């Protein structure tokens, strides 16, 4: 069962400037900034509605640091994207999520670069971006010259022992029932008549 996903490494001392894109976005009313603690419930709710429970957990962890390591992109005081670091592990950037309606206009690029500059300003020389699908790998290669880390697929990299839950309780029940049935059949076949 091979994964196409991989982790990537970013040299923070070679980041491109985000000044032009940030100015362009700001002229259109899109701002990128560090999140504030009173916004935590808004950000976590938005992430849950647009992405996944795992990303909510990582975003929640980014609010526990001082300073907060969650950044947001806003348009007319409405959340349109977020990016975090030091959530799953120190030195790890992500997750990063952008509202579908704002993809392709530079929000992801500006948010990525701003978060990575904050990492650099806090003493990091490198950042790891974890569990990226091939399309995301292309984005980060093009945007910040990130490089794939060999043998870093989820089953071999930093996520290899991550707990995986079943989203459907009925599926969990069926899986457990099948395993119990198989174990009982095996146990029955080892019993011999004396």
Q: Which domain CATH number covers 72?
A: 3.40.630.30
User: 10: domain range?
Assistant: 6-160
* pLDDT score recorded for residue 161: 81
Please check whether residue 167 lies inside any domain of the structure.
Answer: no
* pLDDT score recorded for residue 193: 43
Please check whether residue 176 lies inside any domain of the structure.
Answer: no
Before 138, cis peptide (omega within 30)? no
Bridge partner list, 129:
8, 93
Residues 31, 33, 39, 45, CA torsion sign: positive
Grouped pLDDT means (10 residues each) for the chain, 194 residues? 78 94 95 98 98 95 96 97 97 97 96 98 97 94 96 80 65 45 41 42
In three-state secondary structure terms, 80 is strand
Q: How many domains does the chain have?
A: 1
Bridge partner list, 73:
32, 81
Please check whether residue 190 lies inside any domain of the structure.
Answer: no
* pLDDT score recorded for residue 2: 43
Asked if 128 contacts 92 with a C-beta cutoff of 8 angstroms, the reply is yes
Please check whether residue 193 lies inside any domain of the structure.
Answer: no
* pLDDT score recorded for residue 183: 42
* pLDDT score recorded for residue 99: 97
Q: Distance between alpha carbon 31 and the CA centroid of its chain, in Å?
A: 21
CA angle in degrees (0–180, nearest 5) for 39-32-146: 115
* pLDDT score recorded for residue 166: 58
Please check whether residue 112 lies inside any domain of the structure.
Answer: yes
Please check whether residue 88 lies inside any domain of the structure.
Answer: yes
In three-state secondary structure terms, 105 is coil
Strands (E), 105-189: 126-132, 147-148
């Amino acid at each position: 069962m091979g994964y196409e996903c991989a982790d990537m490494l970013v040299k923070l001392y070679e980041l491109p400037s985000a000044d032009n894109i940030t100015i362009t976005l700001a002229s259109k009313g899109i701002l990128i900034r560090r999140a504030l603690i009173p916004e935590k419930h808004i950000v976590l709710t938005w992430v849950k509605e647009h992405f996944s429970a795992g990303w909510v957990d990582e975003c929640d962890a980014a609010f526990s640091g001082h300073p907060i390591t969650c950044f947001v992109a806003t348009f007319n005081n409405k959340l349109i994207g977020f990016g975090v670091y030091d959530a799953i592990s120190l030195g790890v950037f992500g997750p990063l999520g952008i509202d579908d309606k704002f993809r392709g206009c530079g929000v992801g690029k500006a948010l990525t670069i701003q978060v990575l500059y904050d990492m650099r300003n806090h003493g990091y020389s490198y950042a790891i971006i974890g569990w990226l699908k091939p399309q995301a790998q292309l984005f980060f290669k093009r945007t910040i010259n990130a490089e794939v880390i060999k043998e870093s697929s989820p089953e071999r990299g930093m996520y290899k022992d991550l707990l995986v839950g079943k989203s459907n309780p009925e599926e969990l029940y069926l899986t457990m029932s099948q395993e119990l049935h198989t174990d009982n059949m095996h146990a029955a076949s080892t019993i011999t008549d004396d």
